[in-house]
Amino acid sequence: ELKVEQNPLFLSMQEGKNYTIYCNYSTTSDRLYWYRQDPGKSLESLFVLLSNGAVKQEGRLMASLDTKARLSTLHITAAVHDLSATYFCAVDPAGGGADGLTFGKGTHLIIQP
């Protein structure tokens, strides 16, 4: 059974600081997704990482994938309050993009002014 673990699960940080969220998974996959969820809302797609060594950046967020270590990271640079949300990573177990995703428990991020 595929397991996806995120850490930390809760993170409170100040504006302007940098931090990294980690996502470990237990089986081979080369397709990993990052989503953002605001309270009471649905999932907003942030990144799709499709191969080992993939790195994608959008604004203050950068995601990377190491399939050999079964690890993805979401790095936040110079955090701003608007980035406060819950962040989920999700793994496609078959790697082909055709299967249901297995999600981590999420990282609840609070960025304080």
Shortest separation between residue 17's beta carbon and another protein, angstroms: 25
CA nearest 35: which of 92, 81, 78? 92
From residue 95, how far is each of 37, 67, 69 by CA, in Å?
A: 24, 11, 15
- Indicate if the alpha-carbon torsion angle 66, 12, 83, 112 is positive or negative: negative
Quick one: 71 or 80, whose CB is closer to another protein?
71
Quick one: 40 or 113, whose CB is closer to another protein?
40
**Site string (37-76) toward another protein, x via CB under 8 A:** ----xxx-x--x----------------------------
Cβ atoms 75, 58 nearer than 8 A: no
Cβ atoms 32, 72 nearer than 8 A: yes
Quick one: 33 or 76, whose CB is closer to another protein?
33
* Site residues, another protein (CB under 8 A): 31, 33, 35, 41-43, 45, 48, 88, 90, 92, 96-106
